[in-house]
Structure 1
Amino acid sequence: AVVAAWVLPEIVAAFAAYAYFSRDGTLNQLLGGLGFGQPDWLYSFPMAAIMLANIWRGTAFSMLVYRAALDEVPGEVTEAALMDGATGWQRLAFITIPMIRPSIATNLMLITLQTLAVFTLIWVMTAGGPANASTTLPVLAYQEAFKFGDIGYGTAVASVLILIGLVFGAAYIRLLREAKP
């Protein structure tokens, strides 16, 4: 289920998330079966539903990056630490994490930039509503340019989004340079 969210086209994953969080969706069916209340998640908690759907959508990518990074940690190093009496937490904190730090920084940069650009998931689930509660910069740029016909304002919003992405990208590139062993 985790990898499927990443492999599926974004529009399909968005419709699956919509079906899960909608008023008559899977989540409310499960909650109703357990005797709990059944809120309209997309109306009452739109950003929480979108964030959970986005986490579900991006988890597989992060899992693959971290699995590959962990495979590159030499077994001899962790074995030597074990022989020196290092606990599991010490091996994690002082060997594994420092050795995979570049992968952590790269993954963090990629998921941050991807999250800044989420549009389809939000548009399918809530279209920025209710009352703009789930409107993000990509949704606002789309609405202004194509729904309200103000191409200039939509372009300005998209430009701000690009600048925010550049700031995050520059910060992460700096972090990556510092992360090199």
Structure 2
Amino acid sequence: MWFVLPALALYILAMLYPLASGAVLAFTDWNGLSAGWNFTWFDNFVRVATDPSALRALLNQLLIAITFPILQNVAGLGLAVALNSRIKSRFVLRTIFFTPAVLTPVILAFLWQYIYSNNGTLNSVLELVGLDALKQSWLGDPKLALWAIIIVITWQYTGYSMVIYLAGLQGVPKEILEAAEVDGASKFQSFFKVTFPLLAPSVTINIILSSVIGLKVFDQVYAMTGGGPGDATQTLTVYQYLRAFNYGEFGYGTAVALVLALIVSLVSALQYKFLRRNEEAAS
């Protein structure tokens, strides 16, 4: 216990105390600057549930949290299968695909903001190949902006899931695959009947991590659009930041953050329970 105490003290100071303080402030009208505040009890939470802007931000956040994990895991698994082969450049390609995952999200967001701009790389390439009709205001069109951001997030973190799936693929016993081949299974059948069920632990890790990232995403949205145009790309994370720091409604912003934390915890717990059951069934 004596060896645990220093780490436990640091954890309490850096994690539990700020969490408890934030939970208290969520029930107040603190503006972030004044020395005192008044308890408003559940008024902030009622406002979160009734404010159209907050509900729109929640829907956008959930859309990212649903579509991003699907796209990331499908792309990551595809890359892992492709790079689990014996092609000579597989190690270089693994590094290239994983690199975006370790780069700063804000830097990548500004890079993609230029790519998506009206005179940026994407529209220039489309014009170069004669597809002028497909040129768009990618971040200026409310119907396209959120999807453009989802593509950026997927591009950044696909390499992360690829590495986890690669580790899972390399742990699949070759004897089982050889037995399936002897029994006459095609490569397609061998993958979906043998390999994929054995990747259940990797699937669990990737889906939970990508869902949490989707529910917490902030940097890319704020750097690329600031929540615009209008509130087309405003997520709950951006909404809470603007309310707390731009409008001086720190208590309300903290309440939004607490609601988001509860959503993340609930979604993660349900996913873990469901995916663990699938792991047990697969084993």
Short-chain TM bin: over 0.9
Equivalent residue number for residue 34 of structure 1: 129
Q: 1:177: Cα distance to partner? A: 2.4
Q: How does 1:80-159 map to 2 (within 5 A)?
A: 80-159=179-258
Q: How does 1:57-68 map to 2 (within 5 A)?
A: 57-68=156-167
Alignment deviations for residues 110-162 of structure 1 (CA, whole Å, 9 cap, x no partner): 01101111111001110000001000010011011111111111111111111
Comparing both chains, which one has the higher relative contact order based on Cα–Cα distances under 8 Å and sequence gaps of 6 or more?
2
Q: Distance in 1 between matches of 2:115 and 2:249?
A: 34
CA contact (8 A) 2:168 2:202 kept: yes
Structure 2 unmatched runs, 5+:
1-95
TM-score when normalising by structure 2: 0.62
Runs of 4+ in 1 over 2 A off after TM superposition: 1-4
Q: Distance in 1 between matches of 2:102 and 2:138?
A: 25
Per the alignment, in what secondary structure is the counterpart of residue 81 of structure 1?
Answer: helix
> Partner amino acid for 1:18?
Q
Question: Taking every aligned residue pair, what percent have the same amino acid on both sides?
Answer: 38
Q: Pairwise CA RMSD of aligned residues?
A: 1.2
CA contact (8 A) 1:105 1:175 kept: no
Equivalent residue number for residue 6 of structure 1: 101
Work out the number of aligned pairs and report it. Answer: 181
Structure 1 unmatched runs, 5+:
none
Equivalent residue number for residue 14 of structure 2: none
Q: Distance in 2 between matches of 1:24 and 1:145?
A: 34
Q: 1:4: Cα distance to partner? A: 2.7
TM-score when normalising by structure 1: 0.95
